[in-house]
Structure 1
């Protein structure tokens, strides 16, 4: 299960605004590759939507069935807004419904 924790506004080339909902998964314990110590984190993902801003605001706190999954993509760089550090990644966090998760698990198992 994930929770809608916010939204982000974007502008299309034609100048019209659209929004994306920010969803966050449950708390996970992760071991740091650098220090070896355990810390808690929660993955977030952005989900496109057709809602206007008042609707996006009203949905904050809503729970949705599904989970956030790491999906491998071509390597890309981004700037961490908190530290200013440039980070290179080869995955994105993607929200998947429970049905999509089940289908992906079966497709992967069949390919193996």
Structure 2
């Protein structure tokens, strides 16, 4: 399950404004490469919508079926929020409305087009 946590206004290439919903997946425990200790995190992503502000506001807190998955892509620069540090990433997170089986999760690798 994923949860709608917020919405943001975005502008399309042709100058039209639209709302994007911010989604958050379930909690995950990740082993730190630096400290060797676990920390809690959750994957996040955004999806575009045709909803107005009022509808988007009413969706905050709503849970949707599916999960947020990691997908390989061409490397790109990413600026860490509240920092001047820029790192290279080669993946993006996206919303998949279908839940995957453990076998699909382990053996399937997606590559961005």
TM norm structure 2: 0.83
Give 2:98's aligned residue: 98
Give 1:57's aligned residue: 57
Query: How many Å apart are 1:50 and its aligned residue?
Result: 1.1
- 3-state DSSP class of the match of 2:4? strand
Query: How many Å apart are 1:17 and its aligned residue?
Result: 1.0
Query: How many Å apart are 1:84 and its aligned residue?
Result: 2.9
Query: How many Å apart are 1:11 and its aligned residue?
Result: 1.6
More strand by percentage: 2
Structure 1: stretches of 5+ with no match in the other structure = none
Give 1:10's aligned residue: 10
Q: Deviations over 1:82-108 (max 9, x none)?
A: 233212110001110116x46xx3994
Q: How does 1:35-50 map to 2 (within 5 A)?
A: 35-50=35-50
Give 1:69's aligned residue: 69
More helix by percentage: 1
Give the Cα separation in 2 of the matches to 1:20 and 1:75: 24
Structure 2: stretches of 5+ with no match in the other structure = none
Q: How many equivalent residue pairs?
A: 106
